Amino acid sequence: KVVDALWRPLGKGVEIDGAGFHLDAAAWSADLRRQNAIQTEGIVLLRIAARRLWSEPAAVLAEIAAFLAS
């Protein structure tokens, strides 16, 4: 299983979800199965909408930093 960003010692990962790859029913269903498999391995995921990286990068970085610190 591949995670967009992984901090294995912390048991945390970040997934960036873009509309082009995650909005149709089949992709959404596959994302749920993949997320469940990743979390079953003990990794907690934070999911970020890709458009936020461009529209509010500082807020995204702050959210990720808070997630990693918690």
Length, in residues, of the chain: 70
d(CA 31, CA 29): 5
Query: Residue 63 pLDDT more than 70?
Result: yes
Please, which pLDDT band fits residue 20 given cuts at 50, 70 and 90?
Answer: low
Interval 9-18: pLDDT, tens: 999 999 998 7
What value does the mean pLDDT take over residues 42-70?
A: 96
Cα-Cα end-to-end distance for the chain: 24
pTM of the model: 0.81
> Would you state the pLDDT for residue 23?
64
58 CB contacts (<8 Å, ≥6 apart)? Answer: none
